[in-house]
Structure 1
Amino acid sequence: MKLVRPGGLLIYDNTLWGGTVCWPEEAVHESKRELRKHVMEFNRLISADHRIELVLASIGDGMNICRRIF
């Protein structure tokens, strides 16, 4: 966030990761669980950041559109 000025946009792709972030862990193939965990942690961190406004576009694998507000 330090590199983004107030009013600047950040766009993150693949935040829904094929819907797997909403599935129970046992429904996700074992080979994908570690990456899924990182995607979920990123989503949690970005949604808790009070410096940004966040919109999730559920297009394809999901896209977060963030605007730094301060």
Structure 2
Amino acid sequence: MKHHHRLIFKALKDAVKWHLIVRNVAEAVTPPKTRKVEMETWDNEQVKIFLDVSKDSSFYPIFLTAINTGMRRGGQ
């Protein structure tokens, strides 16, 4: 939500600057506070079990790549 607020705020700010609108209504909105989320990671044994169980999945190469390259979920 915070990302969307920033995006809309910036777009409306530019529209005011370009005289397309009179006022940035996003200024009246308080963006939500960001919550800190503790990251949980798997240990080596959990990774091994997951890969063993998923070895017949068509997604196995993606799982293996994600685990071996340190890929993580993006966006916040």
Q: TM-score range by the shorter chain?
A: under 0.3
Structure (1/2) with the larger helix percentage:
2
Length-normalised TM-score, structure 2: 0.22
TM-score, normalising length: structure 1:
0.23
Task: Give the greater-gyration-radius structure (CA).
Answer: 2
